[in-house]
Structure 1
């Protein structure tokens, strides 16, 4: 839309709540798990074994995303991805999303179109659909998404099942989103690969059920940083977890970006959030599925160490600090 001001016909206020809902839902295809989609007081979603995994996240403009750094479609994809990654971390596959959208009345309708389009694209990539939600007036852009998932008869993989002697493994990118944030924070827009990782994460959705089927004892979505998030597993399970840096793969692209910015790429890998990789513990090395990377061990004790020692500095993102 360039620098042109939107005309009244371009805004969400002119369309109205229900006009906007119709605009972003009509003609969309739903997965087979959606028995009743948008248009009624509530949706109906199939649950194979009577259990539904449910999770929710809230994303706030200028806290979780910036529209001068990302397109609305990229923001929509990210909003959907961060929720569906939590479903995958329970060992389930995402089936449905409920979307809450708050925005100012003068928000261009095209922005809402792109946001929801991004959500639909990301949902479809995981086999899920958008089944309903709500839209309200707000002072700035706020997105709240509830994601539902299907365990397909398996027990959920929680944070509390890690046992002494287990091995720790990860699946997905680590450090890429943190590198992209560092690049964007310096006012640059390239390298595209790392900037893109900050704008749109790529959670390995299918790896969650894969890990569950392989006998994972505990699992978590790496949203706030590897060390911070496996710390939740350690606390919930009453164990200690040690990460071995010689087992971590630091991609050459991260090394190059860190060199240019005077940063430590290993710090991004250990503490950077928003990649939404999965970290899980397994009872033995042979149980770790293909494409997962073993990076540590579970021991008696408490807390998280790196190469046997406490990590110096922040272990990841925390709100209100």
Structure 2
């Protein structure tokens, strides 16, 4: 763990650093509050800071207030260091946002004990943040494939539709594995799950960094593809369909060939979410009716019907 010492007293700073380094901590040192403020704003800021109350440029009390005003999930643990020991001063430091208080001259044993308390609090805080991040991930991602779940991919679609209303172009692809029920019936649901996971990886590898992919339900996936200048969404969906047809998915029952039907719709200013999805679904149904393993495009501007991907 890294610890920041901000103290303009050379002797005090050296003693603090020696005790902390002896106990295995990485120590950063500054001689004024302004330097400490710069360090504590960095993305990889020290998790714990020992701040002298009286420092040049920016005193410890104001520094604590500024740090506590930062928006972060991982606020540093702050220990105020000062020769002031009156109760009113202790209260002022704690009210400003300090976690603990250490008076000069300090005892090395007390310093170790207070830092140990800080370390435990930081570890608990980190565990809480990780739990929060895990819950957030579980709320937005499909447990089997790791892709966005239905709610999350629809949220991404709504965000892109909002951008499209300001002039950006957008296409979506409703994708369905052809004859997926046969895979489950012939090889079992565990193999079916492996097919879903393998397809999710394959599609993810083929998509562009700014595209989004989600499991929409069962064996159906939704691709949200912003149309950037100089890019072609037709080429994107055609390539995906060909790649799936040419890449067997490795399963416990050996490599399994599969194909994908895709219905594509471009966003129109008059579309709401349901209308855009309905046009993509209608194109998907036509792809199924026309023999599967193909991309069908809903009418969109000058482009009318379809592209065929032959098996």
The question of a shared fold, defined as TM-score above 0.5 by the shorter chain, is answered with no
Name the structure, 1 or 2, with higher relative contact order (CA <8 Å, separation 6+).
1
More helix by share: 2
Larger Rg: 2
